[in-house]
Amino acid sequence: MSQTTTDQPEVRKGLVGVYADTSAVSKVMPETNSLTYRGYAVQELCEECSFEEVAYLLWHGELPNQAQLAAFKEAEAKERPISETLHKVIAAFPRDAHPMDAIRTAVSFLGMEDPEAGDVSDAAQRRKAMRLFAKIPTCIAAAHRASKGQEVVAPDPRHSFAENLFHLVQGKVPAPEVVKSFDVSLILYAEHTFNASTFTARTVSSTGADIHGAITAAIAALKGPLHGGANEAVMHMLKEIGEPSKAAEWLKGKFDHHALVMGFGHRVYKHGDSRVPTMTKYAEKMAEVVGDRRWMETSRILAAEMLKAKNIHPNLDFPTGPAYYLMGWEIPLFTPIFVASRITGWAAHVFEQGADNRLIRPLSAYTGLEQRPVPPMSQRG
Ligand SMILES: CC(=O)SCCNC(=O)CCNC(=O)[C@H](O)C(C)(C)COP(=O)(O)OP(=O)(O)OC[C@H]1O[C@@H](n2cnc3c(N)ncnc32)[C@H](O)[C@@H]1OP(=O)(O)O
Ligand SMILES: O=C([O-])CC(=O)C(=O)O
């Protein structure tokens, strides 16, 4: 909300409505609840493309042809293994560390091990991004398995990105319709203009820092429950409600306490999140595959009641929470999976920032005390 006083400049708290820069990566059109990546509607990308094709699109501006896709996938598969040293570091993490803290620390460590540390040229940043993209699932899985005292599983270069994540964490690749729903979620999570974590990545990059620093900071920003952390909060909420028949009553209790309902609301979309219909469709498919409609039915009631009482729509984290649960992912892995996808969008923005950089440094409107003399120690209360 704007705040102005006679002697204060206008402040847009939370940078609401502020255009901080131009970008050609994606476009959110809240008036039509739509979203494009490099000019392609995200719903169409979900139906026609794999996550790897979308990652290529975000980084190169065009969809790959067959040879370009094959080379991209080969480069990604080759970079999946992590060093023995990093395996040991991850194994030493506290067992109860949150997986988001684990992946943030692992990415930071990868920066120290990177063979091109210190080189922030566009070509080097792109090679680093590929290494990060490929290694993040390996790190997420290693930390998860170590926290449960399980043996680490080696990445399998024959698997797609989505299949490999299942293989690394769950030790098996599920049925193709489950992999497809997961792949769709990765496409939907990949990119979303100047959201808080992407803006963080661009701010770090604007100082001339390397991509590992930018991504480490972006992961820290994504963890928060007002941003990526909401997908975990949604599933905790659905479990707390328990049964669809309790949803309306539970929600009324939240309204009585003026509490936030996780997975609802959005800074930019005020009439519905462009990605929700597609993700809901695939979450429904997961409910059918598993034969458990409880979570989707509870979700349906919550969404209808929220709209009726508050005119607030669900965001992408709302259908993704139950979809991931139905796919067999443990709840603390939901936001790390978001990282495994969003690294593609973050990196695209780091490249874009680097190509036409100007240090990001806004102003603050001072509201503290007027200038005053420093009192000697003997006169301080
Ligand atoms: C992938 C993603 O990051 S999507 C976002 C995931 N985050 C969540 O789901 C967390 C829950 N949602 C929220 O906290 C907010 O909607 C945000 C942070 C996403 C957006 O915040 P803002 O753009 O600042 O929304 P804003 O505060 O202007 O909302 C307008 C009104 O709706 C209310 N509102 C917004 N979201 C919710 C919600 N989830 N539950 C209850 N009320 C809400 C606000 O309290 C506010 O009410 P008021 O006018 O009486 O003060
Ligand atoms: O755009 C935002 O503010 C949050 C969001 O939906 C995303 O990052 O995907």
Per residue in 173-211, pLDDT (tens digit) is 999 999 999 999 999 999 999 999 999 999 999 999 999
Q: What mean pLDDT is reported for the chain? A: 96
Mean of the pLDDT values across residues 58-66? 98
Query: Which of these is catalytic: 183, 210, 273, 317?
Result: 317
Residue 7 has pLDDT above 90, yes or no: no
Query: With bands split at pLDDT 50, 70 and 90, how would you rate the model's confidence at 82?
Result: very high
Which ligand has an atom closest to residue 223 CA? 1
What CATH number should be reported for the domain holding residue 122? 1.10.580.10
- Looking up residue 261, the CATH number of its domain turns out to be 1.10.230.10
264 lines ligand 1 (CB under 6 A): yes
Give residue 185 CA to ligand 1 midpoint distance, Å: 22
Residues 29 and 69 grouped into a single domain: yes
Strand partners, 40: 37
Together in a domain, 126 and 239: no
Q: Ligand 1, from 193, 197, 266: best to mutate by most atoms within 8 Å of Cβ? A: 266
Q: Is the beta carbon of 239 within 6 A of some atom in ligand 2?
A: no
Query: Do 115 and 188 fall into the same domain?
Result: yes
Asked whether residue 183 falls in the same domain as residue 300, the answer is no
One of 212, 227, 313, 349 is an active-site residue; which one?
227
pLDDT at 37 over 50: yes
Instruction: Catalogue the E-assigned strands of 5-152.
Output: 11-12, 26-29, 34-37, 40-41
Region 364-377 average pLDDT: 97
Q: Domain for residue 376, yes or no?
A: no
**What DSSP string runs through 295-320?**
HHHHHHHHHHHHHHHH---B-THHHH
Picking from 7-11, 117-121, 132-136, 232-236, which range would have the lowest pLDDT averaged per residue? 7-11
Predicted local confidence at residue 8, as pLDDT: 83
Mean pLDDT of 106-111: 98
* Percentage with pLDDT > 70 across the chain: 98
Residue with tokens 């992946």: 103
Kindly state if the Cβ of 138 falls inside 6 Å of ligand 2: no
| 239 in the same domain as 218 | no
Q: Are residues 216 and 268 in the same domain?
A: no
151 and 51 within one domain: yes
- Claim to verify: residue 46 and residue 150 sit in the same structural domain: yes
Please give the Cα distance from 70 to 64 (Å, whole number): 9
Ligand 1 contact, 336 CB (< 6 A): no
Residue 333 maps to a domain: no
pLDDT digit string (tens) for 9-21?
A: 999 999 999 999 9
How far, in Å, from the CA of 32 to the mean position of ligand 2?
16
State yes or no: ipTM above 0.90: yes
Listed residue (168, 190, 166) closest to 177, CA to CA: 166
Catalytic residue, candidates 167, 266, 313, 349: 266
pLDDT at residue 1 in the model? 41
317 is catalytic: yes
Instruction: Indicate if ligand 1 lies below 6 Å from the C-beta of 227.
Output: yes
Specify if 375 maps to a domain. no
What is the reported pLDDT for 5? 47
223 in the same domain as 185:
yes
> Does the beta carbon of 126 sit less than 6 angstroms from any atom of ligand 2?
no
Taking only the tens place, the pLDDT of each residue in 307-348 is: 999 999 999 999 999 999 999 999 999 999 999 999 999 999
With 60 as the cut, is the pLDDT of residue 3 above it?
no
The number of the ligand nearest the C-alpha atom of 230 reads: 1
**Does residue 259 have its Cβ closer than 6 Å to ligand 1?**
no
Is residue 264 located within the same domain as residue 348? no
Q: Residue 98: exposed, middle, or buried by beta-carbon count in 10 A (0-12, 13-18, 19+)? A: middle
Ligand 1 atom nearest to CA at 16: 23
Annotation says 266 is catalytic: yes
Pair of tokens at residue 253? 């209790």
Instruction: For residue range 205-245, list pLDDT tens digits in order.
Output: 999 999 999 999 999 999 999 999 999 999 999 999 999 99
Clarify whether 96 is annotated catalytic.
Answer: no
* The pLDDT of residue 287: 98
Atom of ligand 2 nearest to the CA of 191: 9
What range defines the domain where residue 282 resides?
230-326
| Residue 176 counted as domain residue | yes
Q: Looking at ligand 2, which atom is closest to the CA of residue 197?
A: 8
7 assigned to some structural domain: no
192 lines ligand 2 (CB under 6 A): yes
Strand duo 34-37 + 40-41: pairing: antiparallel
Evaluate whether residue 365 is within a structural domain: no
pLDDT in tens, 153-172: 999 999 999 999 999 999 99
pLDDT of residue 6: 55
Position 379 in a domain: no
Confirm or reject: Cβ of 212 under 6 Å from ligand 2.
no
For residue 369, is it within any domain? no
Quick one: which ligand is closest to 198's CA?
2
How many structural domains is the chain composed of? 2
109, 221: one domain: yes
CA angle 208, 211, 214 (to 5 degrees): 80
Closest residue to atom 1 of ligand 2, CA basis: 195
Residue 161 shares a structural domain with residue 137: yes
**pTM of structure:** 0.97
